[in-house]
Structure 1
């Protein structure tokens, strides 16, 4: 099964910086291995999940627990998830000159009629000047309060953050 490619890139980046997608995570999606910090890689991976760019996810990880995980494996476990909002809670190390870093984040998601929240403490390592996600300790909470459009800074008529090309009100809203 081929990976789903969005028809239209979102205007604002799904990672929540408020920057245009092409000037934020889009740069890294077009050039895997160029994220300068662990946090930049974490944000770009979140955006890749939100846009269902599973090839990017597979290219930016060296999992300690499953080194052979492919883009198809990632797709099969995530294709029904809509990622709604990302919040970076804490970053330790992971700067351009570091060899490792940790990013703690909370991501809100929707699967069918169910909503939830993923909290994770992710470990990143730099190998030959390229950052990779290697592992994470996470907790998933279901039936969490719904994230309202105003919290996402999206209007009903804005393009949906998921990259579908539809208006927010007709898609994830």
Structure 2
């Protein structure tokens, strides 16, 4: 699993000082938004075990890391945008996070927009469910904080230069 220099969640912080802390210590995310960002980063770098231990799904409570990996093997997560939150702070018991996650599957680019429900159980945040919409072949919205040079390492964590990885699509 390649570890990126900058955190895939879009904060601009180094991975090890951002979501990497939570990946190394599951159950320590202090808010619903931070858990959601760390779960996105786990999808982006392929840490499916982290995804499995940070969820309590209503529809599929027995889903495991291998199931998650199988359903994401062709997806490359390329950008996260958090659009809104409701509650989900350290003192809260529940929270909602609204986000859009841009992805690439083969030569197709798309966007997953979701409203995610989180619940704190015994001091630990968990993802419960989400209502989402997937749009295929959407334009990738590039913001200033996501700009990457052609010779910079690719933000997907492949270890390749951007021009030889995601920019070549």
Distance 1:149 1:89, change over 3 A: closer
Residue deviations 1:17-51 (CA, integer Å, cap 9, x gap): 01111100000011110100000000000000010
Which residue matches 2:54? 60
In 1, the alpha carbon distance for the partners of 2:144 and 2:150 equals: 9
Assess if the C-alpha contact under 8 Å between 1:107 and 1:118 holds in 2.
yes
Q: Give the 4+ runs in structure 1 shifted more than 3 A.
A: 146-151
- Which SS does the other structure have where 1:118 is aligned? strand
Assess if the C-alpha contact under 8 Å between 1:84 and 1:147 holds in 2.
no
In 2, the alpha carbon distance for the partners of 1:140 and 1:98 equals: 29
How many pairs does the alignment contain? Answer: 167
Which residue matches 1:44? 38
Q: 1:163 is matched with which residue: 118, 141, 157? A: 157
Q: CA RMSD in A?
A: 1.3
Which residue matches 2:65? 71
Deviation at 1:163, TM superposition (A): 1.2
TM-score by length of 1: 0.93
Which residue matches 1:105? 99
Structure 2 gap segments, 5+ residues each:
none
Assess if the C-alpha contact under 8 Å between 2:151 and 2:163 holds in 1.
yes
In 2, the alpha carbon distance for the partners of 1:21 and 1:91 equals: 22
Which residue matches 1:154? 148
In 2, the alpha carbon distance for the partners of 1:149 and 1:160 equals: 16
TM-score by length of 2: 0.95
Which residue matches 2:23? 29
Structure 1 gap segments, 5+ residues each:
none
In 2, the alpha carbon distance for the partners of 1:154 and 1:56 equals: 27
Comparing 146-155 and 41-50, the one that deviates more: 146-155
